[in-house]
Amino acid sequence: MGFLSVVSGWLAQSLKNYADFVRGATGKKRWLIAFAAGICGALAMAPVYALPLLVVSFTTLVLLIDGAQIAQKAKRAAFFVGWFFGFGYFLVGIYWMAFSFFVQADQFAWMAPFAVMGMPAFLGLFTGAAVALCASLKGSGWARVLLFAAVWTLFEYARGHVLTGLPWNLAGQALAGNALTAQSAAWYGAYGLSLVTIFIVAAPAATIDQVRTRFSGIVVFLLGAALIVGIGGLRLSLPEPVGDARVVLRIVQPNIPQKEKIDWSYWQRNFERQLELSRGALPPDAKLFVLWPENGAPLLDEMPDALAALDRDLPSDTVLLAGAVRRDRDTDGIERYYNSIAVIEDSGNGRVVTDHYDKHHLVPYGEYLPFYDLMERVGLAQLTPYGDSGFTAGSGPRRIRAGGQSFAPMICYEAIFPGQSYPKDARPDWLAMVTNDAWFGDTSGPRQHLDMARLRAIEAGLPLARSANTGVSALFDGKGRLLARVPLYQTGKIEAPLPPPLPQTLYSKFGDWIFFLMTITCLLFGFYLRR
């Protein structure tokens, strides 16, 4: 008992000293602590997954809010605490965006520093506003933790929707590195997972000043973490439907360097590389779905020789879902380009494109130019790859039927948005995702993108097949378990039976309304405790 008492006393004093140090910081020291805390939070994401740093990060942020509340011009001080936290968080979390500017370095490398610094600076406005609002609420103890968790995730939701949205590295995404800790997203989605995560990891700050119950916040954190794991283990152990082994997926990863992928002189070679990976016999009664990555074969529907090669080399009962670029002309004769998935089937008289899906959630400045006239005047019209102002957006999420199955296609960026994988009234059998993360090199970006695909599978309760040009190609079941993968920067394919869809999840029925109900509950309980 004497030893435990000494350890307990030392730990209690260390916590108090740390809290006093953080709260007492002023000026540049306060900003530096906030910046470092943001970096810690980012390191909890892929590929590091240093989850204990998430506790350090957000507990420190709550203590910094305490210190800002007693500063002169408290709201201003709190805003800068939040902004520097967000700047560090996003600087480390999305640095990989800059790599895309070096693919065509002679044209765009000069823009990389502006992207590396500018995007975190902009996203820091959301975290700064969230922290300023938390400081103005002036809660203490558990009240301030509840209010902080609610306000923080509401601003995450805003970040996921304002100006087309960028819900990258939501706090709950730290738990998506494996299926075990991400299972509860089936109830309340990625935003709800963030709310629960923030409350749990910030819990130690709730009682850090209470002498008799100083460790109760740490106990709540430990119990919350154990509950997340326990729920995950229980859900993963539940029985599930039996799939049809006759429906087979062949997911292709051609591993084509980005410079060669966008060079039209390599079109034939790139096509043949993907076709080679798509070949292979199947049992007579099998139904094959082949996935090619984003822009795997641009303008494929205009290439009769390529369609003839598909007819010659693919098994007869095959549906090919090929990332493609398609073009058409409107009634005014204006040529438009679409980032698409072409659905190619055997018509009985050769292979034909029977349907297509056009990407509807385009990447600003990467796939289309907002304020095109202004961008053209300042010489930035060349940023987009097709047409004058880039791609044209499709009509929205779709469910497509082909080969006796229904699937919902997604292209790259679209998979980062919770609850937007398919039309609400048209649940498919599975999710088909194609992407090209080669723009971003061997960085954290492709790995973080993979984690978001896992969350989409769990939210929907549907299997997800992911074909990525340079990786990571993967197959998830409806519980987000990784059944097969081709590692980053390897050439290969996945061949596996299509997992069965699970019963409709709570999140797929009610969407983010459950998250809003949880958030309102936290706010009401927080205000009650603040009284």
In a domain, 296, yes or no: yes
The per-residue pLDDT for 283 is 83
Q: Write the Ramachandran bin of 445: left for phi over 0, alpha for psi from -120 to 50, otherwise beta.
A: alpha
Identify the pLDDT of residue 25: 96
Residue 257 is assigned to a structural domain of this protein? yes
- Say if 227 falls within a structural domain: yes
Kindly state whether residues 225 and 317 are assigned to the same domain.
no
Clarify whether residues 355 and 371 are in a common domain.
Answer: no
| 467 located within any domain | yes
- In-domain check, residue 367: yes
Q: Are residues 440 and 453 in the same domain?
A: yes
Would you say residue 14 lies in a domain?
Answer: no
**pLDDT > 70 in the chain, percent:** 96
Query: Angle CA(356)–CA(357)–CA(362) in degrees, nearest 5?
Result: 145
Q: Structure tokens of 264? A: 């039209």
CA distance 510 to 40: 33
Residue range 118-146, pLDDT digits in tens = 999 999 999 999 999 999 998 899 999 99
Q: What is the pLDDT of residues 373-432, one digit of tens each?
A: 555 555 555 556 665 668 999 999 999 999 999 999 999 999 999 999 999 999 999 999
The pLDDT value given to residue 30 = 98
Q: What is the CATH number of the domain that holds 411?
A: 3.60.110.10
In the beta sheet, which residues pair with residue 344?
Answer: 320, 353
What residues make up the domain containing 389? 362-395
β-pairing, 430-435 vs 464-468, is: parallel
Tell me phi and psi for residue 153, to 5 degrees: -75, -25
- Say yes or no: 387 and 341 in one domain: no
Please tell me the distance from the alpha carbon of residue 20 to that of residue 38, in angstroms, as a whole number: 19
Residues 334, 435, single domain; the answer is yes
Q: Please enumerate, as own/partner, the contacts of 309-314 that have beta carbons within 8 Å and a separation of 24 or more.
A: 309/271, 309/275, 310/275, 310/344, 310/351, 311/346, 311/350, 311/351, 313/275, 313/278, 313/279, 314/278, 314/279, 314/288, 314/290, 314/351
Determine the Cα–Cα distance for residues 406 and 418; give it in Å rounded to an integer.
20
Report the predicted TM-score, pTM, of the whole model to 2 decimal places: 0.95
Q: Where are the alpha helices (DSSP H) in 344-437?
A: 372-377
Q: Which of 375, 395, 415 is the C-terminal boundary of a domain?
A: 395
Of 405, 514, 413, the C-alpha closest to 462 is: 405
Residues annotated as catalytic are: 294, 359, 412
Measure the CA–CA gap between 361 and 380, rounded to whole angstroms. 21
* Range 152-157, long-range pairs (CB < 8 A, 24+ positions): 152/194, 152/198, 153/191, 153/194, 153/195, 153/198, 153/515, 153/519, 154/130, 154/519, 155/126, 155/127, 155/129, 155/130, 156/126, 156/191, 156/194, 157/191, 157/512, 157/515
Alpha-carbon torsion, ordered 77, 81, 87, 88, to 10 deg: 150
**Would the CA dihedral through 229, 222, 515, 408 be positive or negative?**
negative
Note whether 199 and 260 are same-domain residues: no
What's the token pair of residue 98?
A: 């800059």
| Structural domain contains residue 216 | yes
Residues 323 and 453 both lie in one domain? yes
Tell whether 111 and 218 lie within a shared domain. yes
162 and 183 in a single domain? The answer is: yes
DSSP letter assigned to residue 498: P
Q: What is the pLDDT of residue 376?
A: 57
Shared domain for 302 and 435, answered yes or no, is yes
The DSSP H or E segment spanning 336 is strand 335-346
Q: Rounded to an integer, what distance in angstroms lies between the CA atom of residue 502 and that of residue 191?
A: 21
State how far the Cα of 434 lies from the Cα of 259, in Å rounded to an integer: 19
Same domain, 195 and 296: no
- Can you list the residues of the chain whose pLDDT is less than 50? none
- Is 115 within 8 Å of 366 (Cβ atoms)? no
Our count of domains for the chain comes to: 3
User: What does 157-192 look like in DSSP terms, one character per residue?
Assistant: HHHTTGGG---TT-GGGGGGGSHHHHTTHHHHHHHH
- Beta-bridged to residue 496, according to DSSP, are 249
Query: Among the residues of 436-530, which ranges form H helices?
Result: 444-460, 506-510, 513-530
Instruction: With respect to residue 282, please indicate whether it lies within any of the assigned structural domains.
Output: yes
Whether residues 141 and 99 fall in one domain: yes
Paired tokens of 493 = 């394919």
